[in-house]
Amino acid sequence: MTILKRMRGVLAAGFAVLTLLAAGSAAAQDSDRYGQQKVVYHINGNGGEDDKAYRGALRNVQNHINAVGRDNIEVKVVLHGNGVGLLQNAMENEPLQMDVTSLRGQNVVFLVCNNTLTGRDISYEEDLFEVFEDQIVPSGVAELSYLQGQGYTYVKP
């Protein structure tokens, strides 16, 4: 192997390392830019055809996590009214189910309004995708106000 070929190989490897370092630096700069965040997403509308509105809202949550960094954000999603349909539909809609599961794996907490469950005769154990008693809040709108008082930024996707 000639010295020229070796130098090309070394330069290519060096360029690859610099590219990785620059990408890591850009991600670090993004998290530095946004700092630590607490955010509450409010979902109370219909999902529409193929649950596109629900999936779009969950994509917003994922994009937010990607921008800020998983370790720099605390996310809660409050569902009430027609928004509870997100977790009802996730019982049968596999892509929606995967979106919810992925977000939960990133410590996103889904909170469900008990007023809606009671008023619509919905069982969180039987009718909603993987919801547990500690995720039921007395009132979705009161929870939104409470969380804002705790320093959470309100987002309505």
For the entire predicted model, the pTM comes to: 0.80
How many residues belong to the chain?
Answer: 157
Return the pLDDT at 20: 42
Does one domain contain both 30 and 98? no
Does one domain contain both 147 and 90? yes
74 CA to centre of own chain: 9
CATH code of 65's domain: 3.40.1260.10
Does one domain contain both 41 and 2? no
Return the pLDDT at 31: 61
Inter-residue contact 30 to 67 (CB < 8 Å): yes
Quick: pLDDT tens for 99-127: 999 999 999 999 999 999 999 999 999 99
Does one domain contain both 39 and 107? yes
Does one domain contain both 82 and 146? yes
Which stretches in the chain have pLDDT values below 70? 1-31
Does one domain contain both 68 and 131? yes
Does one domain contain both 82 and 106? yes
Does one domain contain both 83 and 12? no
Q: Which two tokens stand for residue 25?
A: 């630096």
Return the pLDDT at 75: 98
Domain residue limits at 1: 1-34
